[in-house]
Chains A and B, each alone.
Chain A
Amino acid sequence: MHWWRAAFKRRAAVSVGGMSVVYFQRIERTVGRCFGLLAAILLLAVLATPNQALAHAALIKAEPADGAVLAQAPAQFSLTFSEPVSPLVLTLVRPDGTPVALTSFRLDDQTVAIDNPQKLGSGTHVLSWRVISADGHPVGGSVLFSVGAPSQAPAVAEAVDLDLRSAIWTGKVLLYIGLFLGVGGAFALTWLAQGVRWGQRFVISAILCGLVAAPLSLGFQGLDALGAPLARLAQPVVWRTGLGTSFGWTVLISLAALGLGLLSLAGPRTGARPLALAGLVGVGAALAASGHASAAEPQWLTRPMVFLHGAGIAFWAGALLPLGLALNSQSAEAGAFLRRFSRTILPVVVMLAAAGIVLAIIQVQTPAALVDTAYGRLLLIKLALLVFLFTLAAVNRWRLTALAEAGATEVRRRLTRSISVEMLIVLLIFGVAAGWRFTPPPRALAIAAAQPASIHIHALKAMADIEIAPGHTGEVTASIVIMTGDFGPLDAKEVTLVLSKPDSGIEPIKRPATKPGDGTWRVDNLVIPLPGRWTARLDILVSDFEVVKIEAPIDIRAD
């Protein structure tokens, strides 16, 4: 199990010191192969992701509602989401296909109220929106409505940009290399190796790689936020937008951490250790600043856990290559390096694993989600790689001990290969983790699935808000608030909810509502058999002899 001890044993059999050119060539080849494999895994993950539009923040109500036909153009639009969001791009596409940017909007908690600056002609319009929520991942969608009468809907593309996705993913993997292997490596060299700096060139290259990847990632994030293609990378607005998202913090803190790591190696040796430590702290902080896991509730738990997980990975993965080279070198300091590493790694790995397990439980929620969701499948791949990494050390120990007598050259060759394979696995794990950027965690999917379907009906004599929760097929509860047409209180004698779906051949579902006493009307244990567009009608008995019937379409999702 303790692969570092196994490596120590291996060292005993190594007789030739120093680094060889062959060694680096091998690593380079391995890294190249690694990227190909990573890209394949990512492609699989992206293809297997069921619903890309359903990321973290979900649209729960739109005004005008999707599919609504209005007599007159509305003075304003409003979009209500499952959590507070910031609009990135709001566009109104007119029936003839010309887009109009909507720039005047107000945020009111979870609702975005947008002014309509244009006089709208008749026909079908598309309100296209793109917003970002706390996890720093943009989501988009569109709402179709018609003024006067519906017309042919203008085409609005909301396709997945694979080029941009690959760029975001590559940027993320390179950033991980910079943070974990670079800054983590600097920490290992200054705190654990102390004397000779094995693999300093590699560590510095990793940091430089991160220093290039971090700002580029910011640009890619900006493009993703705006839904813009790669060709627009040079535009300032893209970078401003990227910086405005929570990922902007990740990039800024990463740059600081990378800078500290570089200084600790390039600067005077006296101040190296505090700088490297600050860099390691920065790695944890950078990861905790954005992402699915950091945005999850409860925040007091998830952010520290992401911090510990990130710092732990940097400690462990950063030490991997310098330690391997040290053992290869056969110098006297290598033993001290290994002893210091061995003393500290166990609590670090325990902390790293514990934080990972806590986050996985929060994100995945149910064991079934491990298989059912793309996020869960990526986690399984990552776990499999980790198990492989741990067992590899154990197997090597057994085989290399047996080979110890076979000759120093042979053992050294095997040691080189072992480190290469371990590096490859670490890189694969980075690639898998970067793939999570595109897969909403089961936790978020569950939140989105539980979102109610809601509509607002406004007629001359009465208005109503109907909320069906959860907004998918199966057993649901309808909650109804009614008011008079001019926003006054409406004390109805009876309220009946009638759900019909004429195109399905199902008879209308007619259920009387009860008054739970909080001013609302409720229908419990309602079962909606089919997904799709239903018509919700309310029969409001205003007085003994007066009934008001109002209706509107409501979209029910599939379970």
Chain B
Amino acid sequence: MNKYLLPAAACLVLGTSAAFAHITLETQEAAVGSTYKAVLRVPHGCDGKATIAVRVQIPEGVIAVKPMPKPGWTLQVKNGKYEKSYQPYGEAVTSGVKEVDWSGGNLPDEFYDEFVFRGTLAADLPAGQKIYFPVVQECEGATTRWIEIPATGQDEDALEDPAPGLNLLPKK
């Protein structure tokens, strides 16, 4: 009996609210230089209101981003210049997708959904650190901004609306 209770209790204490309440990434770690499939999990609306748009900002170093279309949602991307040039396949890449918007849909508060895009993590991203994908969740008459990035030394759990983060692993 105890064998099962203890891990269950630990699970409840350690891994609770963050995963349930916030918009998070399904896979929270990936190696630099690899292709990463980001699945944004949207667990609820804004203060009970239905979600009508999800916008995500692509951080510097995540290149060649391609979002997955979603039935019932209008997909748009905003392109822009990168801060520097990347050479994933030998050729210099200096611009690409900086923001992905899914809009025009309707996701009631009672339901759950996922929003997917794929990108390449540049090889020179600092392994061992974390990058963040700030998300703006727009609802009917309300907005929640999952855009807080912890300052150096700040506890991520202390943030009210943290941006989804990804731990960078060393290149394989």
Question: Which chain B positions have C-beta within 8 A of A405?
Answer: none
Q: Mark A529-559, 1 if CB is under 8 A from B, else 0.
A: 0000000000001001111010000000000
Please tell me if B147 contacts chain A, counting CB pairs below 8 Å.
yes
Contacting pair B148 A544 (CB below 8 A): no
Q: Which B residues are CB-close (under 8 A) to A549?
A: 148
Number of A-B contacts (CB under 8 A): 15
Please give me the residue from chain B that is nearest to A542 by CB atom: B147
Roughly how many angstroms separate A541 CA and B148 CA in the complex, as a whole number? 10
Min distance, Cβ B79 to any Cβ of chain A, angstroms: 16
Is B145 an interface residue when CB atoms closer than 8 A count as contact? Answer: yes
1/0 per residue, CB under 8 A from A, across B53-92: the answer is 0010100000000000000000000000000000000000
CB distance from A461 to the nearest CB of B (A): 9
In the complex, B33 has a CB within 8 A of chain A: no
CA distance A289 to B55 in the complex (A): 69
A contact residues, total (Cβ < 8 Å): 6
B93 contacts partner chain A, Cβ-Cβ < 8 Å: no
* SS of B interface (majority): strand
In whole angstroms, what is the CA distance A259 to B57 when docked?
Answer: 84
Nearest B residue to A549, CB-CB: B148
B145: A residues at CB distance < 8 A: 541, 545, 547
Looking at chain A's contact residues, is the secondary structure mostly helix, strand, loop, or mixed? Answer: strand
Q: Could you tell me if B57 and A545 are in contact, using CB atoms closer than 8 angstroms?
A: yes
Contacts of A544 in B (CB 8 A): 55, 57, 136
Across the interface, which residues of B come within 8 angstroms of A541, CB to CB?
145
Q: Are B148 and A547 in contact (CB under 8 A)?
A: yes
Complex Cα spacing A14 to B163, Å:
101
B80 to chain A, nearest CB (A): 13
Q: Which residue of B lies closest to A498 (CB)?
A: B160
Q: How far apart are the CA atoms of A547 and B145 in the complex, in Å?
A: 9
**Which B residues lie within 8 Å of A547 (CB)?**
145, 147-148
Bound Cα distance from A545 to B161, whole angstroms: 12
State in angstroms the CA–CA spacing of A545 and B145 once bound together. Answer: 7
Query: Across the interface, which residues of A come within 8 angstroms of B148, CB to CB?
Result: 547, 549
Q: Which of B37-64 contact A (CB under 8 A)?
A: 55, 57
Give the complex CA separation of A545 and B136 in angstroms: 7
10 closest A-B pairs by beta carbon, nearest first, are: A545-B134, A545-B57, A545-B147, A547-B147, A544-B136, A547-B148, A547-B145, A546-B147, A545-B136, A541-B145
Cross-chain pairs A/B with CB under 8 angstroms, 11 sampled: A541-B145, A544-B136, A545-B57, A545-B134, A545-B136, A545-B147, A546-B134, A546-B147, A547-B147, A547-B148, A549-B148
Interface residues, chain A, with chain B CB atoms under 8 Å away = 541, 544-547, 549
What would 10 more interface pairs be, CB under 8 Å, given A541-B145, A544-B55, A549-B148? A544-B136, A545-B57, A545-B134, A545-B136, A545-B147, A546-B134, A546-B147, A547-B145, A547-B147, A547-B148
